[in-house]
Structure 1
Amino acid sequence: MLELRRLSKSYASGQPVLSELSYTFRAGEFVAIMGDSGVGKSTLLNLIAGLDHPDPAAEAPILVDGIAMAALDDAAATRLRRERMGFIFQAFHVLPHLTLLQNVALPLLLNGLPQDRAATMLAAVGLAGRDHAYPHQLSGGEMQRVAIARALVHRPALVLADEPTGNLDPDTAAAVLQLLRTEIRASGACTIMVTHSQAAAAMADRTLILTRAGLQEADTVKTLRQ
């Protein structure tokens, strides 16, 4: 579903962040990525989404459903992102001037799809009957539920979550993660979640550790450190 081929990224100063990173993520799996601060976890998500550009070394360093992101112009990359990806952010990014229903329906509207699924998704995340409420009326956990509904409403093939529980208390975080796991199971989306939380990572099918040496299975990293 998602393939990384010798993906590299350096800062403007020339300092490398990611170096020849290769990995394949399968459709339908929920993967957590952990690692030290500054190792490039959020940068990796931005590269996958096409919001940032890799170093021009490998010919096709990122493939989404077999499509090389590097071969797309800005319009085509935006269209692929809009149609095939869903995003969940730590800061929610719920639009304050839109109702909950309008927030969730936005990906459907942008993709020219029927918008009736928006109400269904709000109900699925426990917000039935709140269609006409506004984000300022919600708790942090409720806003993250809206963000999950919005990320999944258009049935994306790939969901990218960047510290989705970083602003939530432990009980709310656990509930949101259980909801996320349930919803991505139902949709069959490949989900990549960057997190610092061991509890969040435990909800995923498997955990990878991003180091300067690349992506490694968490158990392998533990073995090397013993």
Structure 2
Amino acid sequence: MHVSPTHKPSALECRSLSKTYTATRTVLDRLDVKLAAGEFVAIMGDSGVGKSTLLNLIAGLDRADSGDVLIDGTPISTLDDDAATRLRRQKLGFVFQAFHVLPHLTLEQNVALPLLLNGLAPQRAHDMLAAVGLAGRNDDLPRQLSGGELQRVAIARALVHRPTLILADEPTGNLDPDTAHEVLALLREETKANGAATMMVTHSEAAAAFADRVLILSDGKLHAADDPQAHAARPSHE
């Protein structure tokens, strides 16, 4: 007997997402995008076009004027504030340019935070530190680490609770090229291994080269990098 495969929802779907800051400045204009599980997508575009705004809307740090964000098939707009917070806490991981590692906590304590917030046992933090090349550093404090090592901690923390979606905002902006290469390779490898989807905002062509797809944000919409509409918006520098 033939059994039809179960349709798995996209890890992320933005439907007709719009955001206007003033009467003359529309940042996002009915934007649509989907990310599948295991997909690594880079978002590029000129400064000020709305790349960070898009991440903030997905993360729930800002509210769209219209449209919806679906995470693992669940529309955020259908949830009350508490339920939306729980879904983001369980399904999302964040990697920031500034690391946001808590200085008074050990590396293992930093990585364990998402597990504790979700009521999960903290033991996986130990394994994630090893996975990002920091085995044996569990009890070190952030001040003992280099910038590249701190970003590894941030990646471990973003992935430790096995989220559906990783949001990365200029994750290599503070790193030298060699360290950036290592961190991006690690982020891609861990994204694939965990079956997460990653949306990375970056100005760097070198960083975008690690992605499965590159999308350019221009005129409030996302275009494939080889789309003529995106060409004028694509940065020509690192």
TM-score range, shorter chain: over 0.9
- Are the equivalent residues in 2 in contact too, given 1:5–1:23 (CA < 8 A)? yes
**Could you state the TM-score of these two structures normalised by the residue count of structure 2?**
0.89
Find the aligned partners of 2:132 and 2:164 in 1 and give their Cα distance: 19
CA distance in 1, matches of 2:168, 2:93: 8
Give the conservation status (yes or no) of the 8 Å contact 1:105–1:118.
yes
Please report the TM-score for the alignment, with normalisation by the length of structure 1. Answer: 0.94
Contact 1:32 1:194 in 2 (8 A): yes
The residue number in structure 2 matching 1:158 is 165
Aligned alpha-carbon RMSD (Å)? 1.5
- Mapped pair 1:10 → 2:20: yes
Residues 1:224 and 1:196: Cα distance change in structure 2 (over 3 Å):
closer
User: What is the CA-CA distance between 1:223 and the residue it aligns to?
Assistant: 8.1
Whether 2:51 is the aligned partner of 1:41: answer yes
**Residues 209 and 221, structure 1, Cα contact 8 Å, conserved in 2:** no
Match of 1:188 among 185, 195, 207: 195
Which amino acid letter does the alignment assign opposite residue 207 of structure 1? Answer: V
What amino acid is aligned across from residue 210 of structure 1 in structure 2? L
Q: Does 1:172 align with 2:179?
A: yes
Structure 1 residues 12 and 79, CA, compared in 2 at 3 Å: closer, same or farther? farther
Q: CA deviation at 1:24?
A: 1.6
Q: Quick check: 1:65 aligned with 2:72?
A: yes
After superposition, the Cα gap between the structure-2 partners of 1:188 and 1:11, relative to the gap in structure 1 and judged at 3 Å, is same
SS in 1 for 2:54: helix
Identity, in percent, stands at: 68
**CA 161–224 in structure 1, closer or farther in 2 if over 3 Å, else same:** closer
- The count of residues paired between Structure 1 and Structure 2 equals 222
**Structure-1 separation of matches of 2:193 and 2:37:** 13
Aligned to 1:130: 137
Name the residue aligned to 1:32: 42
Shift of 1:221: 3.6
What's the counterpart of residue 93 of structure 2?
86
**Could you tell me whether the CA contact under 8 Å between 2:225 and 2:231 is conserved in 1?**
no
Aligned counterparts of 1:167 and 1:80: Cα–Cα separation in 2: 30
Change (3 A) 1:13 1:223: closer
1:215 to 209, 222, 229: 222
Q: Deviations over 1:187-206 (max 9, x none)?
A: 01011000000000000111
Gap regions ≥5 residues in structure 1: none
Q: CA distance change for structure 1 residues 224 and 204 in 2, over 3 Å: closer, same or farther?
A: closer
2-side partners of 1:205 and 1:81: how far apart? 24
Displacement of 1:145: 0.2
- The runs of 5 or more residues in structure 2 that have no matched partner are 1-9, 233-238
Residue pair 1:17, 1:40 contacting (<8 A) in 2 also: yes
Aligned CA distance change for structure 1 residues 96 and 12 (closer, same or farther; 3 Å): farther
2:207 corresponds to 1:197? no
Counterpart of 2:173 in 1: which secondary structure?
Answer: coil
Helix, strand or coil at the partner of 2:227: helix
Q: Please state whether the residue corresponding to 1:11 is helix, strand or coil.
A: strand
- The alpha-carbon deviation at position 224 of structure 1 amounts to 5.7
